[in-house]
Structure formats: structure tokens, C-alpha cells
Amino acid sequence: MLLAVAGMVGVGKSTLTRALAARFGLQLALESVDDDNPWLERFYGEGEESRRAWGLQLQLHFLATRFAAMRQMRAQGGSWILDRTWYEDAEIFARGLHEQRLLDDASYDLYTRLYRELLYSPAARPPRLLIYLHAPLETILERIARRGREKERDTEVGYWRALHERYQRWAATFRHCPMLSIDVRDYDLLADPQAVEEVAARVRERIEPQLPQTELFPPVTRRSRSRA
């Protein structure tokens, strides 16, 4: 079984991915965003010019690490959970750079040719469930300001606004696999441990027959978010 967690920076993808991996006994495939990614800080470095200079390298890095993760998952077998998907890489980030003219036609054509090869790979099976974390832009900006990396906090609001709009369009037309949509205003995954249990209960409802036998905890009834 393969699960995936999708969403913008600041919504709590990595937190939820790690929590569900531990909760359900899944193997973990995290996004390459730390010391093993030499392009991310350069990409966010000096605004639009940095994104134009380093966008292709960053997207090819993510594509290469997806290939490596998929090969590992296929070789090891078992049940896995992904922190972000190759669908987002291509259909939101690379496409967005091209739409903003930060990635020229030839570079984008090269990227999309490689992406299509990835989709035809035997290891590129769609996830059993995509867990899509989302929130209004204001909520995401507030979380980036409090919890984001330094370069993310320094990035102009216009970049996040455009990315947020692309995510909304993408989620509305996503058809690769079933999607569970989670409004993160309902769940503070960092501050409230109970929130993870509630999200896990919703995931369990969708995939119960395929959960590994190491998942031993009782279900949790989801609470409703009150609105003022």
C-alpha cells in the first residue's frame, strides 16, 4: 500500500507524514529539502531572479529523488507513505515556473519529457490515498512566519499567493487517485497531539482493509470545528 501527503509549505505535511508512518507502521519517504538538497536555498535566495536561475536544477533534483525513492520502495516492498508527490512536482511547481516565464520552453519541455518517463515507470503506481492538507492563504502565511525555514519566511507574499492558487486549481481537478481533503484549521498538527489521532481516524476510514497489521490503536471520533 502507498499513501501520500500533499500540500503547500506550512500546512504540516512532514509532521503528518511522520506521525502516520509511526501510527500505521508504514515506511517513510520524505521530501529532499535539507542538507542533501543543494538547490533549495539558492532557489529562494534573491526573489524572482533566483527562481529563474535555479528553478530547473531544483525541479530536476526533486524528480531524481522521486526516481530514487520509487526504486527503493519497489525493491523493499511493503507499505509506504510519501511526503509530497511527483504529481505536485510537475503539475504545480514546474508548470508554475513555466507559466511565470521563470522556466523557458526548452527547459520545460526537457522536464516534462522526463516526467512522462517517470509516470510510465513500473514503480510509479498511484497512491491508494492522497491526503491533501490545505488552508486559506492567511493561515499558511502565518504558519510560515512562525515555523518556516529562514528563506521561506523571507520569500515575498506574491510567490505564496500564486502557489496557493495553483494548488487550489490542481486539487479541484486531481484524478490520479482518491483524495482525502483536510482543512488544517481543524487540526494543529504541531501543537495538538490529538489532532494527529483525529486525522489518522479519517485516514483509517478510507483504507482500513489495507492497513499493516502493526496498526493496533483504537479509532478516534473526529471532533467538529466550531466557528465564531
Residues noted as catalytic: 83
Are the CB atoms for 32 and 153 separated by under 8 Å?
Answer: no
CA 65 to chain centroid: 14
φ, ψ of residue 126 in degrees (nearest 5):
-65, 150
Please tell me the total number of residues recorded for the chain in this structure: 228
2 pairs with which residues across the strands?
Answer: 80
**Cell 509530497, residue?**
84
CA–CA dist 9, 143 (Å, integer): 9
- Burial bucket for residue 139 (CB in 10 Å: 0-12, 13-18, 19+): middle
Grid coordinates given for 145: 512566519
- Residues near 118 by Cβ (< 8 Å), separated by ≥ 6? 63, 66, 67, 70, 86, 124
CA–CA dist 194, 222 (Å, integer): 10
φ, ψ of residue 169 in degrees (nearest 5):
-65, -40
